[in-house]
Amino acid sequence: MIYRILILLTIIVSSCIKIPKDSYVSELKVPFEFDWKTIEAQTVKIVELSNVINDKGDTIATLLPPGDYNLTVVKNSTLSVVKSNSAPATKAIGGSIKEAVYFPSKGRYATVMFEDLFPSKGDMDMNDAVFGLNIEFYVDNQSNVRAFRINIQPRAIGSSYASIGLAASIYTFPGISFVEKIAHSSNSYVNDLFRVNAAGGEYSVEQGNLFDVIPITGNFRAYFNNSADLFLNVRNIDPFTSTQEFYVDVELKPNSKFPFSSLTLLEPAATGKVNIDIFGVFGGRGKEVHFKDGRPTNYFYYPYFVSTNTTNFATVDNWVWAVLSDQSIRHPQEFKKIYHAYPNFKSWAESGGGGGAGWYTPAVLDSLWTGGNFSYVN
């Protein structure tokens, strides 16, 4: 209800606010209902201590106790449940042997690409903030989520904003607070973008929100070993900039653990489900860039929605500012549209996801950044 009231007030108050109109007409004809996902939830029932692998041999889960699990995997994956003869040796977050579910799989990264010109469509090169994403979810012997680790592999910045932030959020209906504490592998200073309480190497969720917002970075640029240039790893004529991988550990409150079967990733908020969202912040705290149907925080600048004439982080013709590939793939060079760098991206989007998730093949290498390698599949 509060969310709807905020949107209504935004429309009323912002009627006198002049935001430049976006005159760009997309070359893509994308179905309105397309969700831009290459991933889906598959339900797996575990009856004894087991591991789960996919049809590529990648590990999706280890040492799962009996229970129901909605595993987020690449669309049309075939999963196999394999009985485990081992037992968890540690309950510590990040321990080497543990009950865990991995996204996209153990030891592998998905690719997240953000466009920073929201609410305008921008140049569609999808390289303004690029990083590898891996999440480890830790469960207890009742198949409840007790903690998770977000692993980040910084790759590129094609944005002119001096300040860029990354964050996650976790929410459900009705809203409750889940997070007990957060720890960062590099003791990153996150207060330059997010208001948190910090002590003893740990920090809180961002203060002042209706649901838990988990700062992943202060300034994303701090993880690139180059403070002289704005554009990093997006032009093949420039030297390669190395980066620092890091992770954030999130421990849940003992009384706020929830069944893994309730967990969703990058999905719309839904009653009875607990969703985890990943979003970017560009320039100032109010400019949030979410995946389609992501939920804005209290700090989002709602008049942006007036310019897009939508409230779901997609344009009226269903273009988006955040794209995820379940694989570690190369991002486009500066000013190279993603659907030119990956010709099948266009047919994938216009067919509403037809042809599966493999839009990253074939690739036009002249349009892609090839100045380095982050364990790419292409």
**Peptide bond connecting 215 to the previous residue in cis, omega within 30 degrees of 0:** no
Pairing status of strand 100-103 against strand 129-139: antiparallel
Distances (CA, A) of 310 to 77, 321, 353: 32, 13, 22
Does some domain include residue 38?
Answer: no
**Please, are residues 357 and 326 in contact by the beta-carbon 8 Å criterion?**
yes
The answer to whether residues 374 and 153 touch, using CB atoms and an 8 Å cutoff, is: yes
Q: How confident is the model at residue 18 (pLDDT cuts 50, 70, 90)?
A: very low
Q: Tell me: pLDDT of 299 over 90.
A: yes
User: Is 24 within a domain?
Assistant: no
- The reported pLDDT for the residue numbered 201 is 84
The reply to whether 156 falls in a domain is yes
Query: What range defines the domain where residue 142 resides?
Result: 2-13+43-367
Please check whether residue 156 is in contact with residue 232, taking contact to mean a CB–CB distance below 8 angstroms: yes
Lowest mean pLDDT among 58-62, 265-269, 338-342: 265-269
pLDDT at 17 over 50: no
DSSP helix/strand/coil, 326 = coil
The pLDDT of residue 19 is: 46
Model confidence pLDDT, tens digit, residues 93-132? 655 547 999 999 999 999 999 999 999 988 999 999 999 9
Convert the pLDDT of each residue in 192-219 to its tens digit: 899 999 988 899 999 999 999 999 999 9
The alpha carbon dihedral of 74, 321, 309, 169 has a sign of: positive
Tell me the mean pLDDT in the region 226-253. Answer: 98
Query: How far is the C-alpha of 316 from the C-alpha of 34, rounded, in Å?
Result: 12
The string over 2-41, giving b where at least 16 C-beta atoms fall within 10 Å of a residue's C-beta and e elsewhere, is: eeeebeeebeeebeeeeeeebeeeeeeebeeebbbbbbbb
Residue 89, pLDDT score: 54
Q: Please give the average per-residue pLDDT across 7-19, as a whole number.
A: 45
Residue 85: the pLDDT is 84
**Mean pLDDT score across all residues of the chain:** 91
Global pTM exceeds 0.85: yes
Lowest-pLDDT range, 188-197, 230-239, 272-281, 368-377? 188-197
pLDDT band at 90 (very low <50, low <70, confident <90, very high): low
Question: Is 18 within the bounds of a domain?
Answer: no
Predicted local distance difference test score (pLDDT) of residue 200: 83
The enclosing H or E element of 250 equals strand 246-252
Q: Total structural domains in the chain?
A: 1
31, amino acid identity: P
Q: Is residue 291 part of a domain?
A: yes
198 domain residue, yes or no:
yes
Low-confidence winner among 20-29, 60-69, 279-288 (lowest mean pLDDT):
20-29
Residue 25 pLDDT exceeds 80: no
Place 16 in a pLDDT band, splitting at 50, 70 and 90: very low
The model's pLDDT over 147-169, given as tens digits with 9 standing for 90+, comes to: 999 999 999 999 999 999 999 99
- Flag whether 376 is in a domain: no
The pLDDT score that the predictor gives to residue 86 is 72
| DSSP helix/strand/coil, 32 | coil
Q: Please state the rounded mean pLDDT for residues 179-188.
A: 90
pLDDT grade, residue 189 (50/70/90)?
A: confident
**Is 34 within the bounds of a domain?**
no
Residue 11's pLDDT is 45
Lowest-pLDDT choice from 4-18, 192-206, 274-288, 340-354 = 4-18
The candidate with the shortest Cα–Cα distance to 291, out of 140, 136, 110, 101, is: 110
